[in-house]
Amino acid sequence: GGYLEHIFKHAAKELFGIEVTEVIYKPLKNKDFQEVTLEKDGQVLLQFALAYGFRNIQNLVQKLKRGKSTYHYVEVMACPSGCLNGGGQIKPEGAGNKDVLQRVEKLYESVRMEIPEKNSRVAEIYEQWLSGKAESVLHTQYDAAKIGRA
């Protein structure tokens, strides 16, 4: 997995004051192309997507080129099923790739999620190693992209 879930929860809280406890993924064409939406009173406030695997990435790029994307954030990973099925994963001998991937997905889902802002170890690292320079070293700023061709 990536950062979509954390960024979604953080954006909902910071931008709209909404505490999201559970992120619900809506599969589109397949489980490797999904949307997450935050709505209030029938109005879409945030719309995120994840696109794993080259075919889904190509579809997303075409949507972007046609100006048909409404996403505020998109998480993209080249490997089908994301990094859980990436080239850096050890492939055990004798086991089918599908079986191994399902076991890895179950293990990943069983890990307790923590919010970095509330984690005492993260706070300690910020204090000891990044005191006064975290903003310049770890944070970035984005500017709105111009839609259309130059």
CA pair distance 54, 117, nearest whole angstrom:
33
pLDDT digits (tens, 9 = 90+) for 33-64: 999 999 999 999 999 999 998 999 999 999 88
Poorest-pLDDT segment among 8-12, 32-36, 65-69, 110-114: 110-114
Give how far Cα 89 sits from Cα of 33, 69, 80, 85, Å.
21, 32, 13, 7
Give how far Cα 21 sits from Cα of 73, 92, 93, 94, 123, Å.
19, 35, 39, 39, 22
Give how far Cα 56 sits from Cα of 29, 53, 72, 102, Å.
9, 6, 17, 20
148: left (phi over 0), alpha (psi -120 to 50) or beta: left
pTM of this structure: 0.68
pLDDT of amino acid 1 = 54
Instruction: Give 5 or 134, the one with higher predicted confidence.
Output: 5
Q: In the structure encoding, which two tokens stand for residue 90, read together?
A: 């050890």
